[in-house]
Structure 1
Amino acid sequence: MKNILIPIIALLLSVSAYAQKPNKEKMKALKVAHITEELDLTAKEAQAFWPIYNAHEEANDKLIKNSDLKRLENIDGITEDEAKAHLDKIVQMEISRQKIQKEYYSKLSAVLSSKKILKLMNTERSFRRKMIKEFKERHRGDKSKRQ
């Protein structure tokens, strides 16, 4: 029953998300459905996994939200000291991100096998590729309507 129900839910979520512009909640729901379908977690694994996963996502979001990094539009227009300061901020953010990742994998290894953690990493990558592909296809469709 579980094997039939999950793909149906994922399909319904993807159809409803495709019909409207994607927002953060819809993307999250699609990602959760994708991960659930691909990982095939036991009930015990799922109960332990999702709080860890959600805390990790929240920590990453918080890191990005609290970052004061801005994209530099005119690199030629800044001083060497400003460039160095910007690079230092990038390095510090990456160090923070790596600490979050290390803690995340440590916690995951207590509840999932290493193979399932690797499968999770591949699943997240495949989800990103899928969303980028859908965005490009949708964007291409918008361009043809404008012409």
Structure 2
Amino acid sequence: MNRLLIAVLILFTTVTFAQDKSREKIKALKVAYLTEHLELSSEEAQDFWPVYNEYEKERQELRHRQWVEIKSKLKDVGSLNEQEAQNLLSVYLKIEEEEEELEKNFLNEISKVISAKKTLVLMRSEEDFKRQLIKQYRQNKGGR
């Protein structure tokens, strides 16, 4: 029993560490990708990254909250009564509104730091990075 518990703990720790390492690697790749595409001056970069990092942190917190409060409960959607389903839907809509507000605030803040054109390049570059990441994931998954 103790050996099984130790094995499970080691496996859990290894998986968690690998996920954290993977997230950090993706974050570093994204920073490099955005830096290259935005062509920020050193002054712009000094002002840009703190604003962007704060936005990313808040966006990640909202997504985590959405997962905890909604998506994890959708697995058992058949067992929800109508009131519980309505409550989940309300929470979902509230979080979506918060995300939209966060996005608006970020765009207002970032446009004080970089030009409107670079802000649009940022938006496009984030989408391009996401597409490339998904493409790479699919290729690696298929290659296993």
TM range (shorter): 0.7 to 0.9
Seen in structure 2, the aligned counterparts of structure 1 residues 137 and 33 have a Cα distance that, compared at 3 Å, is same
Structure 1 stretch displaced more, 60-69 or 98-107: 60-69
Structure 1 position 69 matched with structure 2 position 63: no
Corresponding residue for residue 99 of structure 1: 101
Deviations 1:66-107 (A, max 9, x none): 442234124333211111111101001011111111111111
* Residues in 2 aligned to 1:82 and 1:66: alpha-carbon distance in whole angstroms: 17
Name the CA distance, whole Å, in 2 between partners of 1:74 and 1:62.
Answer: 23
Whole-angstrom distance in 2 between the partners of 1:69 and 1:28: 25
The more displaced of 61-70 and 47-56 is 61-70
What corresponds to 1:139 in structure 2? 141
Q: Quick one: which amino acid aligns to residue 78 of structure 1? A: L
Q: Percent identity?
A: 36
Q: How does 1:1-147 map to 2 (within 5 A)?
A: 23-67=22-66, 68-71=69-72, 72-142=74-144
More helix by share: 2
TM-score by length of 1: 0.77
For 2:91 and 2:136, locate their aligned partners in 1 and report how far apart those are by CA, in whole Å: 33
* Deviation digits for residues 39-85 of structure 1 (CA, Å, limit 9, x no counterpart): 10111111110000000011112222344223412433321111111
CA distance in structure 1 between the partners assigned to 2:121 and 2:64 by the alignment? 28
Secondary structure class of the residue paired with 2:87: helix
| One-letter amino acid matched to 1:37 | E
Between the two proteins, the alignment pairs up a number of residues equal to: 123
C-alpha RMSD of the superposition: 1.7
Letter of the structure 2 residue corresponding to residue 62 of structure 1: E
2-side partners of 1:127 and 1:138: how far apart? 16
Question: Higher relative CO (CA 8 A, sep ≥ 6), structure 1 or 2?
Answer: 2
**TM-score (structure 2 length as normaliser):** 0.79
